């Protein structure tokens, strides 16, 4: 099984908050404006219903800080 995961390049992200608008409430802004997903760091699993929005966020991030990656998840038994 594969799943989409959104990778945040912190060296590029400037906390402009476009992604948090598109991917709220999955992503929220921390007190300095940078995106944050509860329980996750630089790689945020994206549920199927959010994948289209995540693609938009990748395309629109003004710093090209986002990328979508396919990650293999162990098949559920």
Partner 1 sequence: MSTVEMTIPRAAVAPPMGVNRLFAAGAPDLASHLARFGPAPLGLTPGQLLGELEASGLDGRGGAGFATWRKLAAARTSAGPTAYSAPVVIANGAEGEPMSAKDEILLRHAPHLVLDGLLLAAAVTGAREVHLYSGPVQLASVRRAIAERSDARGVILHEAPDYFVSGEASAVVSAIETGVAIPRDRRVRLAVSGLGGRPTVVSNVETLAHVALVARFGAAWFRSVGTDDSPGTRLLTVSGDAVDRKVIEATGGLPLAEALGAVGIDTSRLRAVLVGGYHGAWVPASDLWVRLSNRELEPYGTRPGAGILVALGEQHCGLAASVGIARYLAAQSARQCGPCVNGLPAMAEVLARLAAGGGSARLPDEVRRLAAVVTGRGACRHPDGTARFVLSTLEAFESDVRAHLAGYCEVTHP
Partner 2 sequence: MAEAFWALGRATGVVSLVLFTVTVLLGILTRSGRPALGLPRFAVTLVHRNVSLLATVLVIIHVASLLADPYAQLRLVDVVVPFLGTAKPFWLGLGTFAFDLVLALVVTGLLRQRLGQRAFRFVHWFSYAMWPVAVLHTLGDGSDVGKSWLVLLLVLCVGSVLVSLAWRMSATFIEYQHTRFEEARR
Q: Catalog residues that contact ligand SF4 under the rule CB under 6 A.
A: 8, 10, 13-19, 35, 61-63, 65-66
**Contact partner at residue 56 from ligand SF4, partner 1, partner 2, none, CB < 5 to 8 Å by partner kind:** partner 2
Our CB check for ligand SF4 shows the closer of 2 and 11 to be 11
DSSP letters of 16-33? --HHHHHHTTTSEE-TTS
Q: What are the structure tokens assigned to 31, written together?
A: 């007190």
Q: Are 27 and 20 in contact (CB under 8 A)?
A: yes
Our CB check for partner 1 shows the closer of 42 and 73 to be 42
């Amino acid at each position: 099984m594969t799943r989409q995961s959104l990778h945040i390049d912190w060296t590029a992200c400037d906390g402009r908050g476009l992604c948090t608008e598109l991917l709220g409430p999955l992503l929220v802004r921390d007190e300095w404006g940078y995106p944050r997903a509860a329980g996750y760091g630089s790689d945020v699993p994206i549920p199927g219903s959010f994948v289209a929005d995540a693609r938009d966020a990748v395309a629109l991030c003004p710093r090209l800080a986002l990328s979508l990656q396919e990650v293999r998840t162990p098949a559920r038994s």
